[in-house]
Structure 1
């Protein structure tokens, strides 16, 4: 009699990048995460573009409706099991496009609530630590549940070069750290959903 192998539950991750620049390092982290996820059984990452979102303005809301781009964005977040934030640091905090996307997602009904989340950052200096701290504070109000460890802060300007000229992550040791984040997010999401014991 053949043994029955339990199928790993699927986890769908919505990946948001706080930088709109095509060659941004944080966008490079998302691309790398998508590629790495292919080697993690049960993990699926979809990049959600926040550039089409208008600036938050409640005058744009109707009776329970939102602008088309916002509706599409909110639906993607709602369908996801968890969220991966690639958050650059701007003036010691999160970027304006990322905060705008989060604010749209949080409009009633809040489509972020009770989801697992993780943050990765590539910036100069501290590698985005302060932006991550602020993002975690925002997450408290949104009822997001961030993984605590491992953490991922990358000083993108510190040699040797971690990215190529197109913003693609090329450092293998950094890729391994990024994969650890994804594995942790996958497991934590399943625990929150009651599909995996601690």
Structure 2
């Protein structure tokens, strides 16, 4: 049974998270493109581009009587209510950004709201296309019980022609959009299988 046919049984709520904040970054562009692809060509998937710019860095002094700050609670609620996750991870010094690590940490503190959900990772960068950051994110996923799809993989070298993004960071390359859709379909199928909707 194809993922799009299975999705008619249920609409998956996907949370999209970029490891960068600057609006014109390619990783933000990949999340925006994924939102549009879900909306226009993948029945049964709805993705929200989650704003994480207001999250403070994890500091236990901010937790008062077991209560986290309101912006953290709102973030954790979005994570808990999602059916699966879509991460777009830049590579900084062979690893994920501090921003993305902070997102993982707040989602697991004081209790883990990530657990037992499917996820996909895409990345951009030079040479290896951000791939090293993906491996570190997968390691974190083991600890917080996120189940990442294994194939297809998506590493995007932004220096290889043709141009992949416009000056505003929007994805313009048709072949890359096609690859992105394949990742999303794989995520959909895996999430439904984990949920028991795919026999």
TM-score (normalised: structure 2): 0.94
Q: Aligned-pair distance for 1:98? A: 0.7
State the Cα distance separating 1:64 from its structure 2 match. Answer: 2.7
Q: Which residue of 2 aligns with 1:24?
A: 25
SS at match of 1:92: coil
The answer to whether the Cα contact below 8 Å between 1:50 and 1:98 also exists between their aligned partners in 2 is no
Asked whether the 8 Å contact 1:8–1:41 carries over to 2, the reply is no
The alpha-carbon deviation at position 109 of structure 1 amounts to: 1.6
In the alignment, which of 67, 70, 90 is matched to residue 69 of structure 2?
67
Superposition deviation, residue 108 in structure 1: 2.8
After superposition, residues 47-86 of structure 1 pair within 5 angstroms as 47-86=49-88
Structure 2 regions of 5+ residues with no counterpart?
none
Query: Counterparts of 2:107 and 2:65 in 1: how far apart (Å)?
Result: 16
User: 1:155-194 residue pairs with structure 2 within 5 A?
Assistant: 155-194=157-196
Give the root-mean-square deviation of aligned CA atoms. 1.2
- Aligned counterparts, 1:124-163, within 5 A: 124-163=126-165
Provide structure 1 residue ranges, at least 5 long, that are not aligned to the other structure: none
* SS of alignment partner, residue 140 of structure 2: helix
Q: Distance in 2 between matches of 1:42 and 1:110?
A: 26
Distance in 1 separating the partners of 2:123 and 2:17: 12
Number of positions where the alignment pairs a residue of Structure 1 with one of Structure 2 = 193
SS in 2 for 1:108: coil
Structure 1 CA distance for aligned equivalents of residues 35 and 147 of structure 2: 21
Distance of 1:192 and 1:65 partners within structure 2: 31
The residue that corresponds to 1:33 in the other structure is 34
CA distance in 1, matches of 2:65, 2:194: 32
User: How far did residue 62 of structure 1 move?
Assistant: 1.9
Runs of 4+ with >3 A deviation: none
User: Normalized against structure 1, the TM-score is what?
Assistant: 0.95
